[in-house]
Amino acid sequence: MFPPELLILVGVNIFIFLSLLTSIFDEPFPMALPYVFQIAALAGFCEVWVGYAFLLSFVEVRFWCSALYLAVALLAVIAINLYIAINRRLLNTAIAFLGTVTVPTIFMSFLLVSAYVNGLAIWMPPLPIVPVETIYVVLTLCMVIFGLSIITYFEPNALKNMFKMFKRGRKCQHTFRSLTLTIPMNDAKQHKKERR
């Protein structure tokens, strides 16, 4: 079983990634945001040191501190995604960020926490055991979301047109079914004879 500080290290990696991302794409983000994420990553390293220096025998306290730090890191990822979508109104970028960063990060974090909680006797509502095979499903979902964001980036009205065609197709099928159900069988034979 891995130590609970692994959750802190995952959170540190998330904060470092967000710092790098917000410094590379600095246009939509405030100037101080990368530094805030770097300070949060340093706080995670300090939390690892405090856990090993002072709380080595208290596994439950170390777990809750680690889980709280990871939750803050995940909330930062969600906040960046919402900031891109709502404040900057870059919906295509927000959808791409959702498919490439937010969903995989949350899923992998939940996988780690679930594996840790189900392996120890820590008081917490039992989490479902996430099978490793679900990684393929989640990554496929992320690829679909990312592909749709690429389509909407290059052709903004492509999805709208596709959904309109889908709705029209369903309406036509529904209308055709209702017509065939309302016409009696004898009338249907007469309609066929009249067409010939």
Among 7, 41, 48, CA closest to 22: 41
Nearest C-alpha neighbor of 105 from the set 128, 127, 138: 138
Number of other residues whose CB lies within 10 A of the CB of residue 116: 21
Domain ranges within the chain, ordered by starting residue: 5-156, 161-195
Which tokens in the block code for residue 112?
Answer: 């780690």
Nearest-angstrom CA–CA distance, 93 and 61:
38
pLDDT at 42: 92
What angle separates helix 33-54 from helix 5-24, to the nearest 10 degrees?
170
pLDDT at residue 4, rounded to an integer:
78
- Residue 91's pLDDT is what? 79
The CA distance from 58 to 5, in Å, is 12
Q: How far is CA 153 from the centre of its chain?
A: 19
> Could you state, in chain order, the average pLDDT of each consecutive group of 10 residues for the chain (196 residues)?
80 91 81 90 88 77 87 93 84 81 86 73 60 76 79 72 69 48 52 58
Which pLDDT score, from 0 to 100, does residue 116 have? 74
Q: What is the pTM of this model?
A: 0.67
pLDDT at 187: 54
